[in-house]
Amino acid sequence: MKTIIAAVCGLLLAGCASYSGRGLEPGRSSAEEVEALMGPSAERRSAPNGESVRYYSRLPFGRQMYAARFDRNGKLIAVEQRLTTENVAKLQPGKSTEREVRDLLGPPWRDDAYPRLAREIWTYPMMATDPTPKHLYVQFSGDGVVRELYLIDDPDWRARDSFE
């Protein structure tokens, strides 16, 4: 029985090791190796200079979006966690476009349309600098330009020691 439990724990830990692409080698790992380790990508996009990017979503509960960047030959350049406060700070209301947000952060967890307001809101669950989980809301106008950004505490999160 102990052997079975140890084997199951080993398999679970092996699965967790691939969560962020750990073990992949930039310049050597292929797109197929990345997919085998990290699972199917949530989205694929073309990038400048013939590069391509595959997004691996851990949303909503993992609160991470990994981007695996590949050169034109299909070799891995890097695996990056995209849902960071540094990346959010790059977004500019009135200037950033849907394409730029999608290229930077990857596909949203939710995409809600508000036709009466002529707005669309993308939701990205993420972690910020404090331990409270956050939701990033990116609001677009009908022309596809970011109008407002909100990074607020996750409305469904309750601290373990909370009595609410």
Q: Over pLDDT 90: what percentage of the chain? A: 73
- Asked, as a colleague might, if the bond just before 155 is cis with ω within 30 of 0, I would say no
CA distances, 24 to each of 60, 100, 164 (Å): 24, 27, 43
pLDDT at 152 over 90: yes
User: What pLDDT score does 1 carry?
Assistant: 53
Mean pLDDT of 60-89: 95
Residue 16: band (very low, low, confident or very high) from pLDDT cuts 50, 70, 90: very low
Structural domains of the chain sorted by starting position, each given as residue range(s) with its CATH number in brackets: 20-81 (3.30.1450.10), 85-153 (3.30.1450.10)
pLDDT at 5 over 60: no
Residue 128: band (very low, low, confident or very high) from pLDDT cuts 50, 70, 90: confident
pTM: 0.82
Check if the beta carbon of residue 108 is closer than 8 Å to that of residue 60. no
